[in-house]
Structure 1
């Protein structure tokens, strides 16, 4: 007597694939699509607002021009600062020795400029800062500059 082999029975392909990989995915509803579009729109508007407000705060840039050592306890640093003429900036100036160790440090405030003070409408000003040093300096540079919050 032979028995019929049940493993050889054919199962429809769609049923066997569904058993193996899971059922068919449902399509997105109209409400889900609308919510995704609205969320993307909100994110886009928020990004545009962030870009608009972040560019409203005027940046400040600086350029080192040179330095000189007056004696073993003083150094002079010459630099240019470019900013919005009505803004106030602060710059950190440092003097360094031959091993790049900081031997002098000073934070200076650069106030608003008049438009007639420079060729570019008062944006760029030349500055000279005298630093006291604890040992002879071999270089002097601007470390960083930033705009001072006007709401002091």
Structure 2
């Protein structure tokens, strides 16, 4: 074992006599034993490797977080469009009036799909509407959609910036 505790005694032939088990001197010998440290993976090289791996993993997480923040929040091109169906009225077997509000960034033009659905939720009529630019972000519109059969509802399907 190479190391001796301070309280070890030497015999006449030069061999050491270990302290009794459970004494502080014997615990120091066991805790400082390089063979035990190597056996249980507590070597300095192993700890240094673990720390290096932790730093690399932490750096990778930080890099992914920074890239996500730049991609999701700081690019400045995330203009949003909000729509709200406000009313619909079935005029006859071949038309429905749809009223809706659209919020777009001021000065931007947009396009929307207005559609009519029957009782089975099948599309029975649709219309693409071009919305001109305006100084007001939220505006109300009314459109009449022609249908192929009796509609039960009319609504906004989707909108996009043009």
* TM > 0.5 fold call: yes
C-alpha separation between the residues in 1 aligned to 2:59 and 2:156?
47
For CA contacts below 8 A with separation 6 or more, give which structure has more relative contact order.
Answer: 1
Q: Which runs of 4+ in 1 moved over 6 A?
A: none
Match of 1:123 among 137, 145, 151: 137
> RMSD over aligned Cα, in angstroms?
3.1
C-alpha separation between the residues in 1 aligned to 2:105 and 2:59?
38
CA gap of 1:99–1:39, structure 2 versus 1, over 3 A, is closer
- Displacement of 1:41 in angstroms is 4.0
Q: Residue in 1 aligned with 2:84?
A: 63
Gaps of at least 5 residues in structure 1 are 1-11, 116-121
C-alpha separation between the residues in 1 aligned to 2:126 and 2:59?
52
- Displacement of 1:103 in angstroms is 0.7
Report Cα offsets for 1:21-61 as digits up to 9, x if no partner: x74461235766665554444333312211212x5321101
CA gap of 1:99–1:32, structure 2 versus 1, over 3 A, is closer
Gaps of at least 5 residues in structure 2 are 1-29
TM-score w.r.t. the length of structure 2 is 0.64
1:28 paired with 2:48, answer: yes
**Max radius of gyration: which structure?**
2
TM-score w.r.t. the length of structure 1 is 0.67
Instruction: Give aligned pairs, total.
Output: 126
Match of 1:89 among 99, 110, 113: 110
CA gap of 1:33–1:128, structure 2 versus 1, over 3 A, is same
